[in-house]
Amino acid sequence: MQITEKKLSALTNGLNAVDGVMSNGIHTGFKALDKDLALLYFPDGATVTGIFTRNKIKAHSVMYDMDMLKQFTEFKAILVNSGNANACNGLRGEQDVHEMTRSLAEKLNIAPHQVLVSSTGVIGEPMNLQPFYSGLDALIDGLSHQHSTAAAEAIMTTDTIPKELSMQTVIGGKMIHFGAIIKGAGMIHPNMGTMLSYIVTDAALPQNALNTALKSAADDSFNVMTVDGDTSTNDTVLLAATNKVPLDAAYLDDFTASLTEMCRELSRMVARDAEGATKFVTVKTVNAKTKSDAISAAKAVATSSLVKTAVYGQDANWGRVIMAVGNSGIKTLDPNAITIKFTSAAGEVLVCHEGLAVPFDETLAFTVLSQTDVGIFINLNTGDAAAEVWTCDMSIDYVKINADYRS
Amino acid sequence: MQITEKKLSALTNGLNAVDGVMSNGIHTGFKALDKDLALLYFPDGATVTGIFTRNKIKAHSVMYDMDMLKQFTEFKAILVNSGNANACNGLRGEQDVHEMTRSLAEKLNIAPHQVLVSSTGVIGEPMNLQPFYSGLDALIDGLSHQHSTAAAEAIMTTDTIPKELSMQTVIGGKMIHFGAIIKGAGMIHPNMGTMLSYIVTDAALPQNALNTALKSAADDSFNVMTVDGDTSTNDTVLLAATNKVPLDAAYLDDFTASLTEMCRELSRMVARDAEGATKFVTVKTVNAKTKSDAISAAKAVATSSLVKTAVYGQDANWGRVIMAVGNSGIKTLDPNAITIKFTSAAGEVLVCHEGLAVPFDETLAFTVLSQTDVGIFINLNTGDAAAEVWTCDMSIDYVKINADYRS
């Protein structure tokens, strides 16, 4: 049975939507003023799985979580700080992770190995844990079924808005809920802005089933943004199931389909709020010879600074698109077969047909590209494989923000 | 005998330095106001070789030149227009190349196959050859041994200054001259700004020897900027030898060494004048396990938008450097062995030692990075291979220029 999108209905309360999840977010002192410490607490425990950065340089918290998830399936808390990535801090970085889990566990009266940790922020700067210790009581006292937004705020770095999502759906005759918070990649495509996401569900599934579902969902969502292992030291997606609603393993595909929708929407939220982004861009390739060709061509277009600046300028500069396709290294490419369209809610404009310029209405093209969501559609006409990659435009603000990050 | 840099002395007259080369550059009408048509003329002929874009989408002039250079070794003219790339123009694009060579050859009283052609500018726009026809007489009438600068100006697109270079050196007891003009890549690294360069020498060498020399020189110069086939539809480097100074084939290595120096300096001129560039950045990796690892790590750092914006902001944000190294996909990487320094004429600052932050003087770091030429030095400490890659910073002006290109 295929879950259709219709059956998934959106809720508005983030992590609060899921039974068995409490959360909170406060300011301690990792950042100057803003909330910087989030806690997800599962009073009755949760089965957790995760996926992590493919960067060979991994933050200490990432290495810790990966290790814990190999050893254990059940957890009670996820602690996240923003303002310091705790990466490249050597032995002290490792010790600080243990300090954080130990001190939180003590306050919650649970075992340290029941705590997972994430960090995001500047790397290579040893953590100062004093403000963290001072803030722990307030963090725990404020735990509630209503504080998802505070948690979403506390994991932000250069995000401009807190990002939460929740949905419900019927699987195997039972109502299943999903809730999530996410923080954005600095810039989605080129590389290395940290993405952190925490997804909770009340469904009961074993860790290996959750892992299968999460990996599959990520391949159709986070991984079509975060390209080719271009990930930060800290990227983390954790999926926690509070096991309140028993679900037969036969429904794993349905669960995965819903989780995928959830992850796709979370990815889009991140792309829309990327550093300096003014537009969400979908690059779609069709009729490629192979799936791999379709993906490579779409990624080459989506990562091209020249394409991204043209989209920012609302300029239907398809020459840059076709050049990026030519540079993508795909095996089967017929320059005289390529057709390119720019699309949006304002319409579509055909700019290149079978490798040749098509006279087009520049005013219409500008209107199409002036929308917030724009598409670049590329028909390679060499087969029947397709791919879709998401990115954002590259703006003046992107440079401003990133020329000024540490200050 | 190894040619040392000392023996190469710089001259100031570009193409004019080489006997047997005449040149000119004028405005015809491919561009609104600026010079847009250049001609290099070899009255006594020249032996020519070339290297071209690896983009699978090639301009019509590139396909034509590649074909001519397979069939012939001797040429009399190189014609270059800026303002229109003559790429993706189908049959008409091919015909226009033939029109251009035919009409020039007629005026010069040479055979069409003695003419090579390059184009740069907007792609996918059919050429209007009327202004070109009208300008041909003036172009030819103005041919001179003094007009290198006019030719350099006529090949510019978003370059801010015309770029010429000449050198002389003694090889095998004979004084050999080199002259060149070059136009810049829009942005060197990420992709696709067109680079055109024309190098002339009075040395006499057969086409296959010239080709060997040019390929070798490019590997240590143009190809450490223009990464991984990320090239435009039009990229072209032609090397023309006017055969005025007989050179024994035994001196090919010496010739190659001098040509390499010439190409390295040309590359640096391009990087310094890249769109919006405020800094020339050398990324140097040492002690990598393999040459391939050294190159991959250097390229990953040099192509990272986050590293390039940090350099623009004069921010010693080594976290982005180490993240880029971690993302480079290199096989042998020990995060706890990586050492990173920022360098320039103002000094050097060690920021990361064996994977750990080193407390450093932020004022000194800012001073080091405030220079026009800055270096990022990365010791991988896993072997003895090294590499060097050149790039520029990414500025607000880069986005401005590229958001506005076609207008």
For chain A, list residues with pLDDT below 50: 1-6, 189-192, 227-229, 407
Question: Average pLDDT in the B289-303 region?
Answer: 92
Enclosing domain of residue A320: 280-402
Q: Does A59 touch chain B (CB under 8 A)?
A: no
Give the tokens for residue B42: 């070899």
Q: List the single residue in A with minimal CA-CA distance to B233.
A: A323
Q: A320 to chain B: which residues are within 8 Å by CB?
A: 192
How high is the pLDDT of residue A55?
85
**Beta-carbon separation of A315 and B403 below 8 A:** yes
Q: Does A370 touch chain B (CB under 8 A)?
A: no
Find the radius of gyration of the CA atoms of chain B: 22
> What confidence tier does B273 reach under pLDDT thresholds 50, 70, 90?
confident
Q: What CATH number has the domain bearing residue B28?
A: 3.60.70.12
Residues A207 and A229 in one domain: yes
How high is the pLDDT of residue A151?
98
Question: Average pLDDT in the B363-386 region?
Answer: 96
Rounded-to-integer distance, Cα B283 and Cα B391, Å: 8
Residues A207 and A264 in one domain: yes
Residues A164 and A180 in one domain: yes
Q: Note whether A24 and A38 are within 8 A (CB).
A: yes
Residues B262 and B284 in one domain: no
> What confidence tier does B360 reach under pLDDT thresholds 50, 70, 90?
very high
Question: In which residue are the tokens 């250049």 written?
Answer: B38
Question: Domain boundary residue among A272, A300, A315?
Answer: A272
Q: Note whether A319 and A338 are within 8 A (CB).
A: no
On whether residue B407 sits in a domain, the answer given is no
Q: What CATH number has the domain bearing residue B355?
A: 3.10.20.340
Q: Does A202 touch chain B (CB under 8 A)?
A: no
Domain count of the fold of chain A:
2
How high is the pLDDT of residue A191?
43
Q: Does B297 touch chain A (CB under 8 A)?
A: no
Choose between B397 and B384: higher pLDDT: B384
Q: Does B103 touch chain A (CB under 8 A)?
A: no
Residues A164 and A238 in one domain: yes
User: Active-site residue among B194, B231, B285, B343?
Assistant: B194
Q: What is the pLDDT of residues A240-271, one digit of tens each?
A: 999 999 999 899 999 999 999 999 999 888 88
Q: B58 to chain A: which residues are within 8 Å by CB?
A: 326, 335
Distance from the B241 Cα atom to the nearest Cα atom in chain A, whole angstroms? 31
- Judging by beta carbons within 10 Å of its beta carbon (0-12, 13-18, 19+), is residue B34 exposed, middle or buried? middle
On whether residue B161 sits in a domain, the answer given is yes
Query: What residues of A are labeled active site?
Result: 194
Question: Domain boundary residue among A272, A289, A308?
Answer: A272
Residues B191 and B234 in one domain: yes
Residues A266 and A301 in one domain: no
How high is the pLDDT of residue B162?
95
* B101 flagged as catalytic: no
**Beta-carbon separation of A357 and B88 below 8 A:** yes
How high is the pLDDT of residue A225?
78
Give the tokens for residue A217: 């969902």
Residues A374 and A238 in one domain: no
Q: B127 to chain A: which residues are within 8 Å by CB?
A: none
Specify binding-site residues of A for substrate. Answer: 157, 183, 194, 275, 402, 407
How high is the pLDDT of residue B194?
76
Residues A268 and A287 in one domain: no
Residues B185 and B41 in one domain: yes
- β-strand pairing of A339-344 with A373-379: antiparallel
Mutate to test the interface with B, among A122, A195, A305, A315 (most CBs of B within 10 A): A305
Kindly give the residue spans of alpha helices, DSSP state H, lying in A273-361. Answer: 291-303, 305-312, 318-326
Q: What is the pLDDT of residues B199-230, one digit of tens each?
A: 999 999 999 999 999 999 998 888 887 544 45
Q: Which of B57, B318, B320 sits opposite A335 (nearest CB)?
A: B57
- E-assigned strand segments in A91-153: 115-122
Q: Is the pLDDT of residue B2 over 70?
A: no
Residues B203 and B287 in one domain: no
> What confidence tier does B109 reach under pLDDT thresholds 50, 70, 90?
very high
Q: B279 to chain A: which residues are within 8 Å by CB?
A: none
Question: In which residue are the tokens 């030692």 written?
Answer: B353
On whether residue A284 sits in a domain, the answer given is yes
How high is the pLDDT of residue B406?
56
Question: Domain boundary residue among B217, B244, B272?
Answer: B272
Question: Average pLDDT in the B235-243 region?
Answer: 96
Q: What is the pLDDT of residues B20-57, one digit of tens each?
A: 999 999 999 999 999 999 999 999 999 999 999 888 88
On whether residue B21 sits in a domain, the answer given is yes
On whether residue B333 sits in a domain, the answer given is yes
On whether residue A336 sits in a domain, the answer given is yes
